[in-house]
Structure 1
Amino acid sequence: MNVKNIIENHEHTVQLLKEHCIPTIENIAKVCCEAIRDKHKIIFCGNGGSAADSQHLAAEFVGRFIKERRGLPAIALTTDTSILTAVGNDYGYDEVFRRQVEALAVEGDVLIGISTSGNSGNVVRAFEQAKKQHVTVIAFTGAHDSKMSNLADITLQVPSTFTAHIQECHILVGHILCNAVDEMY
Structure 2
Amino acid sequence: MLEARIQQQFFECADLMYQVADGLARPIADAAQAAVGCITAGGKLLACGQGGGQWLAQWICSALMLRFERERPPLAALALGPSLVQPLQASADLAGDGMLGLALQVRALGQPGDLLLACCSGGDEAALLAAVREAHAKEMSVVLLSGPPGEAAALPSLLGETDVWIAVPHERLARVHELQLLVIHALCDAIDLQLLGDAEPG
TM-score, structure 1 as length reference: 0.92
2:129–2:155 contact (8 Å) kept in structure 1: yes
Instruction: Look up the equivalent residue of 1:147 and give its one-letter code.
Output: A
Residues 134 and 82 of structure 1: is their aligned pair in 2 closer, same or farther, counting only changes over 3 Å?
A: closer
User: Which of 69, 83, 108 is the aligned partner of 1:81?
Assistant: 83
- What's 1:39 paired with? 42
Deviations 1:11-49 (A, max 9, x none): 122122203221111111111111111121111111111
Indicate yes or no: 2:154 matched with 1:147.
yes
Indicate yes or no: 2:8 matched with 1:5.
yes
1:118–1:149 contact (8 Å) kept in structure 2: no
Indicate yes or no: 2:166 matched with 1:156.
yes
CA distance in 1, matches of 2:89, 2:37: 32
Indicate yes or no: 2:180 matched with 1:170.
yes
CA distance in 2, matches of 1:179, 1:106: 25
Please list every run of at least 4 consecutive aligned residues from structure 1 whose deviation after the TM superposition is greater than 2 angstroms.
Answer: 87-90
- What's 1:103 paired with? 108
Identity rate, percent: 23
1:16–1:159 contact (8 Å) kept in structure 2: no
Equivalent position SS for 1:179: helix
CA distance in 1, matches of 2:86, 2:21: 36
CA distance in 2, matches of 1:26, 1:134: 22
Deviations 1:87-110 (A, max 9, x none): 475421152100000000111111
For structure 1, which segment, 2-11 or 98-107, has the greater mean C-alpha deviation from structure 2 after superposition? Answer: 2-11
The alignment yields a C-alpha RMSD, in angstroms, of 1.6
Equivalent pairs counted in the alignment come to 184
2:103–2:130 contact (8 Å) kept in structure 1: yes
Instruction: Extract unaligned runs of 5+ from structure 1.
Output: none
CA distance in 2, matches of 1:44, 1:112: 4
Instruction: Extract unaligned runs of 5+ from structure 2.
Output: 197-202
